[in-house]
Each structure stands twice: as C-alpha cells, then as structure tokens.
Amino acid sequence: MAASSKRKVTYFHDADTMGSYYYGPGHPMKPHRLAMTHNLILSYHLYRKMEVCRPHLATDEEMLQFHAAEYVDFLRRVTPDNQPDFSKQLQRFTVGDDCPVFDGLYDYCRLYTGGSIDGAMRLNAGTADVAINWAGGLHHAKRSEASGFCYVNDIVLAILQLLKVHARVLYLDIDIHHGDGVEEAFFTTDRVMTVSFHKYGDFFFPGTGDVKDVGIRAGKYY
C-alpha cells in the first residue's frame, strides 16, 4: 500500500492515570485492563503505526451538551468520604452498587470522555481516519442517570461533536449489552441511526433493545 493511501490512525490513552482507577473489590469493571491493553500495543509495536495522544479532560461545558447540570455537578462533588451527605442524589441518579462512588470518579469520567471527544474532533478535521479510545464506550449512561457501570455517555458526546460537521452519523454497537443510553439520546432524530447487536431476553441487562424498537417521529427507522 502506498504511503499516501495509508489510513491515519490516532489512539488516545493516558498511561499515567487511566489504569489506576478502581471501582472497588469484586466489581467486574476494571479500568486496569486498559493498562494491560496499552502494554500489548507497546509489546506488539502497534504504536509505530499510529499517533498516540493523551486525551484532554472533558470540561463541564462539554458534558453539559448532553447531561443535566445537576447531574454533572453531583459527579464533580461526590466522593467516597462525603457520599452519605448525598443520599438523595445517589438514589436519584442511580449511583450505588453497579455504579459506585470511588476515588477520582469525576476525573475518570472527564478522561475517558475527553478521549472520545478528541477522536471525533480529529475525524471532523480530517487529521485521522480512525480514532481509538479503548477507555470509552460507556453506552448505558443517561442524561441524568448512571447505569451499567457508566456515568458519562462519551459516545453521545462524540456523536454530537461529529454532527457539527456531518449531516448524519451511523452508530454500531457490538457489546453484548444493548446500547440503551445512546439509542435513547437519539430516538427521535433522523440524524443518528443506532444499530446495536446484543443479547436480548431472559431478563438480560438492561432489558431493552427489542427488534421492534425503531425510533419515533423523525427518528423512526433511524
């Protein structure tokens, strides 16, 4: 393949901090796996075929493009030490067992979200053909609700960034769980088509994603 036709790949990762976040003992979500993935990229010399970038920390303003102000404010202020003072908000925003409060929670959200926004901006600018953010993909988070280990929906925010340049976006989700947060965000618009390949039935989380769910109003069949 000629050098001029090679795809420009950009990979976002913060090797200093991303692998250090800890949801808690026994929790299946383990950010340290991101450090393991990064080590594989280094060991197989894949980094030589891509541009490696440190993601920026997403700002409140960026997260507020989708999430409610009171929810973002809660994520910024709550800590393991003060969470008893936020009992009402913990219940309201469904933060608890599946989505626990842990040290550095807010910066963790800012970091993985920043990587996805950065990737979308690179695609918009034409400086990357492929953008990778292994830390992202937290597709269950809703506007004012944490869900399924997800707090900030970086995918929705990245798609909103893409829509600043592109008329339409096709979103493919191949996680075993339905990408309910992304689908819900764009359920009524024809500018984003969400396609999720997931396990459905037998009370499997999150219990949504029936094949008959095709959007409503302008979003029907998109």
Structural domains present in the chain: 7-166 (3.40.800.20), 168-222 (no CATH)
Q: How far is CA 121 from CA 69, 101, 146, 160, in A?
A: 23, 30, 25, 10
Reply yes or no: is the peptide bond before residue 206 cis, omega within 30 of 0. Answer: yes
- Residue ranges for the chain with pLDDT beneath 50: 1-2
The pTM score is 0.95
* The predicted structure's pLDDT at residue 5: 72
Regarding beta strands 51-53 and 130-132, do their DSSP bridges make them parallel or antiparallel, or are they unpaired? Answer: unpaired
* The predicted structure's pLDDT at residue 1: 45
Residue 119: other Cβ atoms inside 10 A: 25
Active-site residue, selected from the candidate residues 140, 166, 177, 198: 140
Alpha-carbon dihedral sign for residues 208, 187, 218, 198: negative
* The predicted structure's pLDDT at residue 89: 98
Is 140 in the active site?
yes
Task: Report pLDDT digits (tens) over 138-196.
Answer: 999 999 999 999 999 999 999 999 999 999 999 999 999 999 999 999 999 999 999 99
Phi, psi of 59 (to 5 degrees): -90, 165
Q: Which tokens in the block code for residue 72?
A: 């973002």
